[in-house]
Structure 1
Amino acid sequence: MGRISKTITAYDKNCNEFNEKFSEFTPYIQKITEFINLLEPGMNVLDLGCGPGNVSRQLMLSGKRYVIQGIDLSEEMVKLARKNVPAGDFSCRDIREISYRDESFDVIFLSFCIVHLNETEMLDLLQKVSNYLREKGKLYLSFMEGKNDGFEKTSFSEEEIYYYYHSAQRVEKILNDNHLAIIEITKQAYQESDGSVTTDVFIFAEKY
């Protein structure tokens, strides 16, 4: 079983555990709230690697109205997203194979989804994202750094999931090379279930 299929199988099996852990996870909610404060009502939003719709749900709870599309490769996650955010449009697709017209969206979220993409896949996706954003469109991007790539057990899954740990410096360069100006970059320590510490990276960027 390949890294993607094994990872998606783990997410399918543990979608409820993931939803329970992260739907009210304060550090992530705070960062998304900060980002939402940059947005205007009525914006067209693309939530890539949407999982159970945690980001989209928070958008709707903000009191602002958005047009939301969400994509995830886990069928069970998509089912949860549709339940959690009935007003959203969620589909089970591979984010590596998406295709939209240029300048289709005002906002794109990549909340901990590039952690499952290798360097080439990540570069390709960020180039697409830049094309899909309108001028002054906003990007929310989060990922981890600080470990070696590979399969891991997690706090929500005994089944192993494959993670890539991208360099923040490398990601910043890719964004700058693709007309995405950094608004803010922050790092937070994340305590793993085995006692180790991973660095979560959060980037807000704007298309120019």
Structure 2
Amino acid sequence: MGFMFGVFGGVGVSNYQLSVGTFNKLARQYQDKYMQMPLYEPTYARLSELLGERDRVLELACGPGNIARYLLTRHPKLKYLGTDLAPQMVSLARENNPTAQFEVMDSLAVDSLSEMFDAIVCGFCLPYLNREEAKALIQAMATRVNSGGLLYLSTMEGDYEASKLQTSSSGDQAFIYYHCGEWLSAQLSTAGFELLSCHRLDYPERGDVDLFIIARRR
């Protein structure tokens, strides 16, 4: 997840920054739960089928490198750069994927990169971004992906007005934003992407619906 910990605190902490700290603190627990996620693997497989063997791939909010490991196992010659704003997540991703490159970077700073990529992977970063941030991220990703390149995007789908602060039994907090597929499809189209697939999965443990989108840059 694309967040950073250790520089935030006190008055004025944003929802985004609050989630940053939580994901950095719980990085290893997140790894233990999501490193193997059979429920999501069909969506990874669809992306894998579309990738070229030596494609240059950028992953935003890479977490512990779970998606990276799936893709690199099938395409070991990918030129893979994973980024996350939580240093602990980046450390785990490096351990789990020693052949790839991982760096601490804010997902919202993607347009500061100079490289162009054949595919961008952005798994479950949007649930921690408000609507304006999500729109800006989609537009920024469009500037970094080659014509004909791919975008993999996943989020929790729901009514944006239902977005709220959530607190775990241990007291850890994150602000969850819901985004609907129709709104995301419109933002992607405006940014120059065409939709290739849109898949929904129920997540019974949370009682949410997860949305997975694969799009191509026109």
Give the alignment's TM-score, normalised by structure 2.
0.88
How many equivalent residue pairs? 203
Instruction: Confirm or deny: 8 A CA contact 1:40 1:64 kept in the other structure.
Output: no
| Distance (whole Å) between structure 2 residues aligned to residue 136 and residue 202 of structure 1 | 19
Task: Name the amino acid aligned to 1:44.
Answer: R
- Please show how residues 1-208 of structure 1 align to structure 2 within 5 Å: 1-98=13-110, 99-101=112-114, 104-146=116-158, 148-153=162-167, 158-193=171-206, 197-208=207-218
What is the percentage of aligned positions where both structures have the same residue? 29
Gaps of 5+ in 1: none
| Distance (whole Å) between structure 2 residues aligned to residue 164 and residue 110 of structure 1 | 15
Report the 3-state secondary structure (helix = DSSP H, G, I; strand = E; otherwise coil) of the residue aligned with 1:172. helix
- 4+ aligned runs moved over 2 Å, structure 1: none
| Distance (whole Å) between structure 2 residues aligned to residue 180 and residue 36 of structure 1 | 19
Report the 3-state secondary structure (helix = DSSP H, G, I; strand = E; otherwise coil) of the residue aligned with 1:42. coil
C-alpha distance 150-137 of structure 1, shift in aligned 2 (>3 A): same
CA RMSD of aligned residues (A): 1.7
| Distance (whole Å) between structure 2 residues aligned to residue 199 and residue 122 of structure 1 | 18
Task: Name the amino acid aligned to 1:80.
Answer: L
| Distance (whole Å) between structure 2 residues aligned to residue 43 and residue 28 of structure 1 | 22
Task: Name the amino acid aligned to 1:152.
Answer: Q
| Distance (whole Å) between structure 2 residues aligned to residue 168 and residue 2 of structure 1 | 25
Give the alignment's TM-score, normalised by structure 1.
0.92
Instruction: Confirm or deny: 8 A CA contact 1:11 1:74 kept in the other structure.
Output: yes
C-alpha distance 63-124 of structure 1, shift in aligned 2 (>3 A): closer
Gaps of 5+ in 2: 1-12
